[in-house]
Amino acid sequence: MQKRAIYPGTFDPITNGHIDIVTRATQMFDHVILAIAASPSKKTDVYPGRACGAGTAGNRASGERGSGRV
């Protein structure tokens, strides 16, 4: 059975802390799902479509170190 994790957030802006959590999660889980959310009450510089770069950043961060997929 594969282990999956869901990491929700606005990721606005994506930070090294976010990348660190994704990196660690890829070492613990087979799949890491980033649930990128919008927050109407929060003034945001990043809209959900653009925040999809967080997944790309997560893939770069996991590199060879983790076996999980983002």
pLDDT for res 23: 94
Contacts (Cβ under 8 Å, ≥6 apart) of 21:
7
**Residue-wise pLDDT tens digits, 2-50:** 999 999 998 888 899 999 999 999 999 999 999 988 877 877 665 555 5
Q: What are the chain's domains? A: 4-62 (3.40.50.620)
pLDDT for res 65: 47
pLDDT for res 42: 73
Residue 63 has pLDDT above 90, yes or no: no
pTM of the model: 0.63
